[in-house]
Amino acid sequence: MRGSLWQLGQSIIRRLSEADKKAVARRYFASEADLKKTVLYDFHVAHGGKMVPFAGWSMPIQYKDSIMDSTVNCRENGGMFDVSHMCGLSLKGKDSVSFLEKLVIADVAGLAPGTGTLTVFTNEKGGAIDDSVITKVKDDHIYLVVNAGCRDKDLAHIEEHMKAFKAKGGDVSWHIHDERSLLALQGPLAAPVLQHLTKDDLSKLYFGEFRILDINGATCFLTRTGYTGEDGFEISVPSENALDLAKAILEKSEGKVRLTGLGARDSLRLEAGLCLYGNDMEQHISPVEAGLTWAIGKRRRAEGGFLGAEVILKQLAEGPSIRRVGFTSTGPPPRSHSEIQDEKGNNIGEITSGGFSPCLKKNIAMGYVKSGLHKAGTKAKILVRGKAYDGVVTKMPFVPTKYYKPS
């Protein structure tokens, strides 16, 4: 989906009547009857959730508080997000690791059981099909989550390659976890609140690690990760237990952890310098151009063996022609597709995500510029509604990350 979620939320909430909302849904997404609903849909509505179409689902863009307040509260206290629209799946079989390594840039074989990483599914040209957090549960079991908007193409891509792999005798099968829901609990109160609901010691679970454990009486897949830059967890819970878990988290936080919608989720991930697929990463953008070189395993750089490896390894050796960078700017906040110019007015790139940072109280954005113009401190002009405003290349993340790592 093009354009930032923040824009979507503001335009829908400020300018559209209920009738207009339905017209937009029909025209651009699906009829309201066609939209899928998570098991928490009624819970969202009861808590004042403003529901909007997103990737074929009816999802809360915000609740009774503003997107600004909700963003700040997540960093100061905590936020709980329903991300059940995302697609979790498991790959099983003794060859599941070697199969997945044909499709992603990560050194999956090098992961210790119970650990994971961000990775990218690539195409033959080295472009990104999707980004995903993958976890090696055991040597013969991989758990991964893919983006809702990419679900159909991702599953078709994986299935096509799995058929060919199995035809050659490879041992791999898959299960799509449509029977489970996914909650993200983020912020400084995430761990202390969740600790009330499990006997397992969460202080021994570090960023990127995974465990199957009992939470609030249900068997959950717990990953210490998130999309905000804060410490936190993604909790895959059987759908029949999701509502009780959501209620228990809010109750144990004594009102400090709030239900948080897609609008604040977009602000938080932008402040953390994280890509939104469809904006900051697409089929024609490589992981190297996107600034995700760190996600290409050392062994993979030496051996290749994944789709598009020839293109990506060449970019690693010679440098890419464009690079993803952060910006701060004056004037109105830049938006997706805002043109970036050098100080002489020459086009040097394009903004892919932008907005006003609720936590920093200033404009932030990310986009792609020509290599050589990507150094922090480089001055630029950013066009918003045809007028040029001062911008400067800025290191990301804009807000320091607080991931829970061994000291």
User: What is the H or E stretch that residue 366 is in?
Assistant: strand 362-370
Residues at the annotated binding site?
234
Is there a contact between 363 and 354 (Cβ–Cβ < 8 Å)?
A: yes
Residues at the annotated binding site for substrate?
234
Say which DSSP state 105 is in: S
User: What is the H or E stretch that residue 329 is in?
Assistant: strand 322-329
Whether omega before 113 lies within 30 degrees of 0, making that bond cis, reads: no
How many C-beta neighbours within 10 Å does residue 313 have?
A: 19
> Strand locations in 28-179, DSSP E?
50-54, 57-62, 78-82, 87-92, 115-122, 128-138, 141-146, 173-176
The C-alpha angle 62, 65, 70, rounded to 5 degrees, equals 75
CA-to-CA dists, residue 232 to 146, 189, 298, 405, angstroms:
18, 8, 27, 12
Q: Phi and psi of 204, rounded to 5°?
A: -95, 5
How many C-beta neighbours within 10 Å does residue 381 have?
A: 19
In one-letter notation, the amino acid at residue 40 is: L
Residue 271 CA to residue 268 CA, distance in Å, equals 5
Name the burial class of residue 78, with classes exposed (0-12), middle (13-18) and buried (19+) by CB atoms within 10 angstroms of its CB: buried
